[in-house]
A and B are shown apart, each in its own frame.
Chain A
Amino acid sequence: MTETKSQRISINIAEFAIAKHSEIIETQSLGSCVGVALYDRTTKMGGLAHIMLPDSKKVMVGGKPGKYADVAIKLMVDKLQEAGVNKMNLTAKIAGGACMFSGAGISDFMNIGLRNVNAIKQILSEMKIPLVAEDCGANHGRTVEFNLDSGKMTVKSSMASTKEI
């Protein structure tokens, strides 16, 4: 069997993708957006979503379904189940949710990064998907690579050093 180079899938803001063993999903420049990775260790399948806002029910306008935490996570789980993943095997890792302009007068209510992270944690716990690792908050952007081979998420930042979670 010949070793093939892992295939890269790039997702943009408000998008998500599912992938299998030997593939890598990446998304660039998460600010207050959050990257949510779901992974099934037994089948080495999983998905990554670039989520923008916490709740689809609070907004009137439409847009891509991947924009909202509640819709995106559920859709991703559905797609993974269609592909043969048992929901009970899923674990989650999240990164992002920064407050890019910290300091002057941004209240917790305005801190959408924090609201995103909280909403995602709540949704994951309601869906009984354990959150195994996170790199959230602070005031710097992040670029995320999710390796479906190892289930590891590499988090690069302009400020902090590269992390593997």
Chain B
Amino acid sequence: MNHEFSAIELDAIQEICNIASGNAAGALSQVLNKRINMKVPEIKIVPVELATEIMGESGAIVAGVYSRLIGDFNGGLLLTFPREDVILLVDKLVGSPSKTHTLSELDVSAISEVGNIICASFVGAISKIINKTVFISVPKLAFDMLGAIVDFILIELAENAEQALIMKIQFEDVPKTISGHFFILPNPGSLEMLLNSIKCRH
């Protein structure tokens, strides 16, 4: 069912996501042993067909970490970073600047792990705030064209989902600002559930 979201509802979702991203930043700070700030400067709810367009060039190479959300909130969660940014992040994690364009096995594993930490702490925070149970599956990593990654997820879930929640996220000082996107594809009813839980709190 399509539902137009009011500015107040969007504000409420953004607020929750900001708190959740603070949680994720905290987890990432521990891994990097350095204070990291994370922001959600932009949040949008759009029809699924427009998702790729908002996240960037369809042909751009990105790293995508994908998990399924299961529980009271059902759907899919994708975290993407542009190629250059993910290389910066990996350099910081693995500690040696990569001179080549290809990622080693260690790099790939490091990205998956960071993706896992960010996604799990983000989802954990949201489920705590709305007081619902949300489980997150083991994330899978793809390093490919943005359009191809989003297509795959749309196909897996698009038979149900009509609207997608897209958040721009920024990590500051890693050493420079790294920006990526959270792309949440809720099953029908899950987005309404989220909003209702927010309303109940107020």
Contacts and interface: CB of A to CB of B under 8 A. Distances in A.
Interface residues of B, number: 26
Contact of A28 (B58, B143, B156, B159): B58
A13 interface: yes
B97 to A, nearest CB: 22
A77 interface: no
B117 interface: no
Contacts, number: 80
Contacts of A159: 144
A141 B140 contact: no
B151 A13 contact: yes
Contacts of A32: 151-152, 155
A31 interface: yes
Contacts of B147: 13, 28-29, 31, 141
Nearest to B159: A59
Interface stretch (A16-24, A38-46, A96-104): A96-104
B66 A30 contact: no
5 contacts: A31-B144, A31-B150, A140-B148, A141-B145, A158-B61
Chain A to chain B: the 10 pairs with minimum beta-carbon distance, closest first: A29-B147, A141-B148, A31-B148, A101-B140, A31-B151, A141-B145, A100-B152, A31-B152, A29-B145, A29-B148
Interface of B: 49, 52, 58-59, 61, 64, 66, 138, 140-152, 154-156, 158-159
